[in-house]
Structure 1
Amino acid sequence: MRDELFNPDNTALLTRANPLAKLIAVVLVTFTLAASIDWVSASVALALELLLLPLAGMSLVALARRGWPLAVAIILGGWSTAIVAEDSGAILLNLGYVDITEGSLTAAVAITARSFAVALPGILLMVSTDPTDLADSLAQQAKLPHRFVLGTLAAMRLIGLMIEEWRTLGMARRARGVGSMGSPWARFKANLSQAFGLLVQSIRRASRLAVTMEARGFGGEHRTWARKATYAGMDVVVVLGGVLVAGAAMAAAMHLNTWNLVWG
């Protein structure tokens, strides 16, 4: 079955770029966004990242379909920030047990926008990059240890398999009448039991995979490569694109005097 998570569109521009160049661009943007907590830099970065979606062969609809669980988690995190953040300014909403003020709402917006802006580059990298190509670049060009690279490759390949196994376990349990009936609490406990079963199965699969890779000589000192990882002019543009997004976000925040270093 087709892997829905790692299924790059070969006609998209970012798909043809070097994976290491895309990773460098992601790191540049992420580091800039992690350096400051303000809503301006996060909003600017997020707007520019959304404009890059077509370059990865992705639309807003496809992004929502793939990333809605992450979006829900980010929004809940923003709401939690609004509740626990320090109160300042006028009271906008009184919930009885807590007040939502201008200061706490600003902090919540900043955290929510920043979380989306940090997550989106990773999604773009993931949907536009084949795991094997990324592993080749990390080993050949970044010179990372083979064992680390191959372990990362195996983990990325198993993510899609785990998603499919979760669906299979769910259908098998529903066929036995488990998890599809009862109160919300009963269904929650059934899903928790299913998650534990998937965890056990994943550990067993990882152990077998590790033994198999070790037996076949993965991680040895001398390796040959079926595909040579190289740089091209497009890769320079990709890195410069990361610099542009990070620089624009930082410049906008500094211009509006909202740049706020986390260690300042």
Structure 2
Amino acid sequence: MTRSAAGVAGVNPVAKLGAALLIALPLVLTIDPVSAAVALVLEVPLLAASGVSWGLFWRRTWPVFVAAAAGALTIALYGATSGHVHVEWLFVRISDGSLWLALSTLLRVLAIGLPAVVLFVTVDATDLADGLAQRVRLPARFVLGALAAMRLVETLGEDWRQLALARRARGVADTGRVRRLLGMVFAVFVLAIRRGTKLATAMEARGFGAPGARTWARASPWGMRAWMLLAAGLAIGLLSVAAAVWAGTWRFILGA
């Protein structure tokens, strides 16, 4: 998706990263349901303006919902006990305190995970690298190396598939799953090292590691929408904390 797209989808990727961090940082300081619930409600307009279809939204965010539910269930069964105990059996002890922590965990994971996933659905790796180098002023060697690594991640799956087909055609390791798995992992590891070495040599030959200022093929524009997105992320974080403090549910995680 191009940067000219409407809504949040066309905003500079660095602004999306910053907004996600501004939302997450206040929420990781406390574990209470009020701050997470307020943040989750305030995130709805932001998620709606992300430009992501409902189908893509559910395909990308279902792991977040599963992780939130699994974490909440675990804490409800084995969390810190306080208040009235509803169920007690072997190591399982469900109490008012564990249920409170489970609800807090469920909302907290959703409030942190959903905007992080949805905002980055429309992010192109090259655009993000341009923004980190041109706007955040990170070292170009680090940014371009990370970008190359991200691009090569996709090739690992294809290497694994081609290697599996080749080994099957030759009848290698038809028996013994553990031996076959270890052999495949080692072979893909060797291929990755060889490809990385060739890529590093090619990049240095093209001047990617040269000292001094470098030019960029594409600019990383920063406009009013980027500032508005950062302001929205900051407002969500501050309002969620203010609501928890006002309700008296603020629970600093280091003191929990």
Coarse TM-score class (shorter-chain normalised): 0.7 to 0.9
Query: Which of the numbers 39, 44, 52 marks the counterpart of 1:45?
Result: 39
Q: Give the superposition deviation at 1:144.
A: 0.5
What runs of 5+ residues in structure 1 fail to find an aligned partner? 1-6, 177-186
Q: Name the counterpart of 1:249.
A: 240
* Structure 1 residues 115 and 212: alpha-carbon distance in aligned structure 2, compared to 1, 3 A threshold: farther
Q: Which moved more, 1:19-28 or 1:207-216?
A: 207-216
* Structure 1 residues 85 and 215: alpha-carbon distance in aligned structure 2, compared to 1, 3 A threshold: farther
State the Cα RMSD in Å.
3.5
Q: Give the superposition deviation at 1:28.
A: 1.0
User: How far, CA to CA, are the matches of 1:236 and 1:224 in structure 2?
Assistant: 25
What amino acid is aligned across from residue 93 of structure 1 in structure 2? V
Q: Name the counterpart of 2:146.
A: 152
What amino acid is aligned across from residue 89 of structure 1 in structure 2? G
What amino acid is aligned across from residue 83 of structure 2 in structure 1? G
User: How far, CA to CA, are the matches of 2:2 and 2:178 in structure 1?
Assistant: 34
Q: Name the counterpart of 2:249.
A: 258
Matches within 5 A, 1:80-229: 80-162=74-156, 202=192, 204-220=194-210, 221-229=212-220
Contact in 2 for aligned 1:12/1:54 (Cα 8 Å)? no
Q: Which moved more, 1:198-207 or 1:101-110?
A: 198-207
Q: Give the superposition deviation at 1:10.
A: 6.0
Contact in 2 for aligned 1:169/1:194 (Cα 8 Å)? yes
User: How far, CA to CA, are the matches of 1:103 and 1:32 in structure 2?
Assistant: 22
Q: How does the TM-score come out when normalised to structure 1?
A: 0.78
Q: Which moved more, 1:151-160 or 1:232-241?
A: 151-160
Contact in 1 for aligned 2:134/2:220 (Cα 8 Å)? yes
User: How far, CA to CA, are the matches of 1:167 and 1:64 in structure 2?
Assistant: 27
Q: C-alpha deviations, 1:80-122, integer Å up to 9, x for none?
A: 2233321111223334431111111211221222122222222
Matches within 5 A, 1:2-81: 11-81=5-75
What runs of 5+ residues in structure 2 fail to find an aligned partner? 171-176
User: How far, CA to CA, are the matches of 1:258 and 1:192 in structure 2?
Assistant: 50
User: How far, CA to CA, are the matches of 2:169 and 2:27 in structure 1?
Assistant: 46
| Larger gyration radius, structure 1 or structure 2 | 2
Identity of aligned residues (%): 42
Q: Give the superposition deviation at 1:160.
A: 4.3
Q: How does the TM-score come out when normalised to structure 2?
A: 0.80
User: How far, CA to CA, are the matches of 2:30 and 2:182 in structure 1?
Assistant: 37
> How many pairs are equivalent?
253
User: How far, CA to CA, are the matches of 1:21 and 1:50 in structure 2?
Assistant: 18
User: How far, CA to CA, are the matches of 1:255 and 1:188 in structure 2?
Assistant: 56
Contact in 1 for aligned 2:8/2:49 (Cα 8 Å)? yes
